Amino acid sequence: MAVASASSTGAAPFKILIFSRTAAYRHASIPAGIRALQQLAARSGSFAADAGEDASVFTRAGGLAAYRVIVLLQCSGAFLDSAALGALKAFVRSGRGVVGIHCASFAFTLPSDDPWYGRLVGGVFANHPAPQLARLTVPDPAHPIVAASLGKRGGARRRQQQQQLPEWEWEWLDEWYNFKTHPRLAAGGGLHVLLAVDEQSYSGGTHGQDHPVAWCQEFDGGRSFYTSLGHFDEAYEDEAFMSQLLGGILWTARVS
């Protein structure tokens, strides 16, 4: 099952904002992520991509009106003030989409911060062990966000269980995030899990047999997709990972 694109469905191309402002830890892979997302936009023909870190775009008159999706690329800490966060809320409540990548769950993590952002992303970062190779499973391989990524170079591989039901596995090197509250509970049970990590394949996990690392949801009138993958530059050169980011952008934009 291929991921739909705006061009293949007849929908008009739309615009996204790649926003990478940080107020805490700053990942060295941010430039690689920006380049890869802009290249993805050019290749897909489905959307155009602006990139920046000037938070005034959130509060300027008409600043967010041009965009259907905001990609929060490695944003950390309190990267928006209360007015800008209010504009993000209005953006979501108008039916538009947010894609969060990796460190985006490490924003607004203090108990005094507005909990809305954590519910939007779907999880609040707690800690992670040292980067390790681990095994991912794909609970719903037919979902449009992940479907086109399966079988791509560096991505997923398929095997058959005893009952001949398909199981998808994906080996990946990354920081494996643990969350303050299990994402399924933090989001009120509304998450659709797209990737889970097998804690038996690495050390340092705290969520047991059910450890989601990527998911999507309908949230507060809009849509959000979050993946905790993407620590290293190499992620943004991987066909499977970039296919999932494309799928997440299209899904949150309601193209697929």
pLDDT of residue 12: 73
Handedness of CA 184, 256, 92, 235 (dihedral sign): positive
Task: Record the tokens describing residue 51, joined without a space.
Answer: 């990139």
pLDDT of residue 21: 98
Helices (H), the chain: 6-9, 30-44, 82-93, 116-121, 183-186, 239-252
Q: What is the pLDDT of residues 108-157, one digit of tens each?
A: 999 999 999 999 999 999 999 999 999 999 999 999 999 988 877 555 55
Phi-psi domain of 189 (left: phi exceeds 0; alpha: psi -120 through 50; beta: other): left
Calpha distance 256→241 (Å, rounded): 18
Residue with token string 């985006």: 104
Q: How far is CA 245 from CA 23, 46, 73, in A?
A: 24, 13, 11
pLDDT of residue 154: 58
* Per-chain mean pLDDT for the chain: 89
Average pLDDT in the 169-184 region?
Answer: 91
pLDDT of residue 255: 93
pLDDT of residue 191: 92
Average pLDDT in the 191-203 region?
Answer: 95
Q: What is the pLDDT of residues 152-169, one digit of tens each?
A: 755 555 444 334 434 467
Q: What is the pLDDT of residues 33-63, one digit of tens each?
A: 999 999 999 999 999 999 999 999 999 888 9
pLDDT of residue 103: 97
Predicted TM-score (pTM) of the model is 0.91
pLDDT band, very low/low/confident/very high, at 10 (cuts 50, 70, 90): low
pLDDT of residue 187: 58
Residue, of 159 and 31, whose pLDDT is higher: 31
Contact 93, 222 (CB under 8 A): yes
91 pLDDT above the threshold of 80: yes
